[in-house]
Amino acid sequence: MKIILTGGAGFIGSALARMIINETDHDVLNIDKLTYAGHLESLESIAESDRYQFEHVDICDAETINRIFDEFQPGAIMHLAAESHVDRSIDGSAEFIKTNINGTHILLEEAKKYWQGLENEQKENFRFLHVSTDEVYGELGEDGFFTEETPYDPRSPYSSSKASSDHLVRAWHHTYGLPTMITNCSNNYGPYQFPEKLIPVVLLKALQGKDIPVYGTGENVRDWLFVDDHAKALLKVVQDGVAGETYNIGGHNEKQNLEVVHTICDTLDELVPKEEKYRDLISFVTDRPGHDFRYAIDASKIERELGWVPDETFGTGIKATIEWYLQNMDWVEAVTDKNYNLERLGTKK
């Protein structure tokens, strides 16, 4: 298959690009604007493959997207490009609206024009996979899980922009017949995650001997999914998923934030021991505005219909992640250089 991948220089997109090149026969054309979160350093291991191409493009640039569809003639598009950080969406929502909503709209329009020109099997088999988040469903209390039928109730600028894009994707299927699919997944973690999200922030602050910021009481719950498990699920969906369907993807790894922070601190005590315990650096800070309490995914549909289950437990995945960061501090320095110094985000009114 020939696949257009958007956002392939980001955290999940680069894991997916590496997996497509290393573990399948598909060709991939990566479209990425290279924002603060997109880095070609994450793709060095596949950059020379003759099945991999890169175009430095903003998904809001309709003319260039049109040219790329015409020239590359894809069998599928996997759309991951987005502004992805909740805290940044609190400080400023404009880029979220532009990329997540307008950008998705432009991709849908250009994909529709291209798809309408296809014939027979090519037309029938074409897929537009939109990668979205469980945050569109809102928050859960102590019990329950998000299913594909859970009503939308997004509560942050980020999640409402993703919910808007999901609605557009469904509308293009319903109205024009474009063979779209949506996946909604829980919190990813693993190698190459930009150090603004909880796990790399905690790890790097701890290694620097600085305060580890835990928002509120640290009791909020997230359902952690190892990034390569997510990439495998996305490949299953693009290859075997049914047009018009939604698939929830989750790792069955619900943890309170404080538990995650403790695990990182205790692993560092083993791997990089210091006189003081890393847990002593934990600092409870003002809560995130509108902080969703709990997310948890019911992933039984994708297991039942496509045979996907995650390989990693949180225990194995977090150890591999911490070891990767310890061995790849040059990557951390390259992607954060003049870009971000781990300051607190998401508090601007």
Rule CB under 6 A: which residues touch ligand NAD? 6-7, 9-13, 32-35, 37-38, 58-60, 80-84, 99, 103, 131, 133, 162, 185, 187-188, 194
Q: Decide: 166 and 180 in contact? Cβ < 8 Å.
A: no
Among ligand TDX, ligand NAD, none, partner that 215 touches (CB below 5 to 8 angstroms by kind)? ligand TDX
Binding to ligand TDX by residue 187, rule CB under 6 A?
Answer: yes
Binding to ligand TDX by residue 79, rule CB under 6 A?
Answer: no
Q: Decide: 297 and 186 in contact? Cβ < 8 Å.
A: yes
Q: In this chain, which of 35, 257, 263, 336 binds ligand TDX, going by CB under 6 A?
A: 257
| Residue that has been written with the tokens 């911490």 in this structure | 322
Nearer to ligand NAD, 27 or 134 (CB): 134
Q: Is 158 a catalytic residue?
A: yes
Mind spelling out the 3-state secondary structure of 219-282? CCEEECEEHHHHHHHHHHHHHHCCCCCEEEECCCCEEEHHHHHHHHHHHHHHHCCCCCCHHHHE
| Residue 121 CA: distances (Å) to CA of 24, 115, 127, 238, 311 | 21, 11, 12, 16, 33
Q: Decide: 120 and 129 in contact? Cβ < 8 Å.
A: no
Q: At 340, which amino acid appears?
A: Y
Q: Which of 27, 32, 135, 254 is catalytic?
A: 135
CB of 231 to ligand TDX, least distance (A): 15
Q: Which stretch binds ligand TDX (CB under 6 A): 45-53, 116-124, 195-203, 275-283?
A: 195-203
Among ligand TDX, ligand NAD, none, partner that 222 touches (CB below 5 to 8 angstroms by kind)? ligand TDX
Binding to ligand TDX by residue 255, rule CB under 6 A?
Answer: no
Distance, in Å, from the CA atom of 241 to the CA atom of 84, rounded to the nearest integer, reads 24
Among ligand TDX, ligand NAD, none, partner that 318 touches (CB below 5 to 8 angstroms by kind)? none
What is the C-alpha radius of gyration for the chain, rounded to an integer number of angstroms?
A: 20
In the chain, what is the straight-line distance between the N-terminal and C-terminal CA atoms, in Å? 46
Q: Is 192 a catalytic residue?
A: no
Using CB under 6 A, list all residues that contact ligand TDX.
Answer: 84-87, 133, 135, 187, 197-198, 201, 213-215, 220, 222, 257, 288
**Which active-site residues does the annotation give?**
134-135, 158
